[in-house]
């Protein structure tokens, strides 16, 4: 399913710079044809990187950064994206649209995660939590 996600001016500039760098690499490799339509082009029939291809790149990046590769995936990035937006005040309906969830109940799972994190925060840092 295709989803369009609005991005900030800063993120747009970074994406365009990455696309230009990829176009330069294509020129240096003497590839013929028009510049790629996608930010993350690939040689496959679709012309763009797949979720699985991104997963492999993330695993490689995790290894290079000393992070356990099993802890990194496109789904983890998606979950982090949603959790950060919700934690910073995004409303549930907007989050539902961004994630492409048909049912708001699917999106409400993120509120449970946030509640659990808030509870752990209070238990870890509130002075009365030590007494209980």
Q: What is the mean pLDDT of the chain?
A: 86
Domain residue extents for the chain: 1-49, 68-127
pLDDT of residue 101: 92
Start-to-end Cα distance in the chain: 48
Contact 26, 36 (CB under 8 A): yes
Q: For 11-51, what is each residue's pLDDT tens digit?
A: 999 988 988 887 777 776 666 666 667 777 787 888 888 88
Per-residue pLDDT at 132 exceeds 60:
no
Q: For 74-95, what is each residue's pLDDT tens digit?
A: 999 999 999 999 988 899 999 9
Angle (CA) 90 57 20, round 5°:
80
């Amino acid at each position: 399913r295709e989803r369009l996600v609005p991005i900030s001016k800063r993120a747009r500039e970074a994406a365009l710079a990455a696309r230009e760098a990829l176009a330069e690499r294509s020129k240096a490799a003497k590839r013929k044809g028009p510049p790629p339509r996608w930010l993350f082009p690939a040689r496959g029939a679709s012309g763009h990187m797949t979720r699985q291809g991104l997963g492999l790149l993330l695993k490689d990046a995790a290894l290079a950064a000393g992070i356990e590769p099993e802890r990194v995936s496109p789904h983890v990035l998606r979950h982090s994206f949603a959790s950060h937006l919700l934690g910073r005040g995004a409303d549930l309906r907007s989050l539902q649209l961004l994630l492409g969830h048909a049912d708001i109940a699917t999106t409400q799972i993120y509120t449970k995660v946030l509640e659990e994190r808030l509870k752990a925060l209070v238990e870890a840092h509130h002075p009365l939590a030590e007494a209980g």
